[in-house]
Amino acid sequence: MRLYIGLIHYPVYNKNEEVIASAITTLDLHDMARVAKTYEVRQFFVITPLEDQQELAQRVQRHWTEGYGATYNPLRKEAIELVSVVSSLSEARSEIEEREGEPPLCVATDAARQQGRGISWKALRDLLEQEKTAILLFGTAWGLHKTVIEGADYVLEPIWGKRDYNHLSVRSAAAILLDRLAGRNP
């Protein structure tokens, strides 16, 4: 599959619906990189325009790929190697287009705000199985800013469990969606 994921730290909402650049959570990088490796995601873009936050993400990556962590835990190394720190979504899209020879479909994830361009995970799985290139976008903090959602080609249907509670961490949401989209047992 030509599947990529992006974790967006700007522009996202805070609790008061203001636009912010969120801080890197190192555990997001670890958990999502391991999920990405498990489901053979081609690259995991960590997207932030803040230089100190880019540096933090790169430091985490270096520790586990070159530093002490690489020998301490080689399995972690294999996962963290998938991380690519970029300053914007358009930079991620350019990197993907260069590698794949076509621009990726941008698929936003959003727990609450339903839009017209919704797509079910089964339909997206079909597209991926047809070797379509796509990047799945996750928002940090209180979610992706509407400009990201409006600029996406599709908005993935929210994860529903039993009733109407769907307030998962971005780490949990990424795990569940990649299992649905790319797992052996759909």
Residue 161 binding a copy of itself, by CB under 8 A: yes
The residues in 81-120 that bind a copy of itself, with binding defined as CB under 8 A, are: none
Q: Which residues of 106-145 are buried (b: 16+ CB within 10 A; e: fewer)?
A: bbbbbbeeeeeeebebeebbebbeeebbbbbbbbbbbbbb
**Choice from 49, 70, 78, 151 touching a copy of itself (CB under 8 A):** 78
DSSP bridge partners of 84 = 45
The residues in 37-56 that bind a copy of itself, with binding defined as CB under 8 A, are: 37-40
d(CA 186, CA 181): 7
Among 59-67, 73-81, 83-91, 126-134, the segment contacting a copy of itself (CB under 8 A): 73-81
Closer of 114 and 185 to a copy of itself (Cβ) = 185
Determine phi and psi for 39, rounding to 5 degrees: -100, 15
Residue 166 binding a copy of itself, by CB under 8 A: yes
- Smallest gap from Cβ 1 to a copy of itself, in A, equals 8
Q: Which of 106, 97, 76 is nearest to 8 (CA)?
A: 106
Contact 82, 43 (CB under 8 A): yes
Site string (126-155) toward a copy of itself, x via CB under 8 A: ------------------------------
Q: Which of 122, 85, 90 is nearest to 106 (CA)?
A: 90
State the residues that interact with a copy of itself by CB under 8 A: 27, 30-31, 34-35, 37-40, 75-76, 78-79, 121-122, 159-163, 165-169, 171-176, 178-180, 182-185
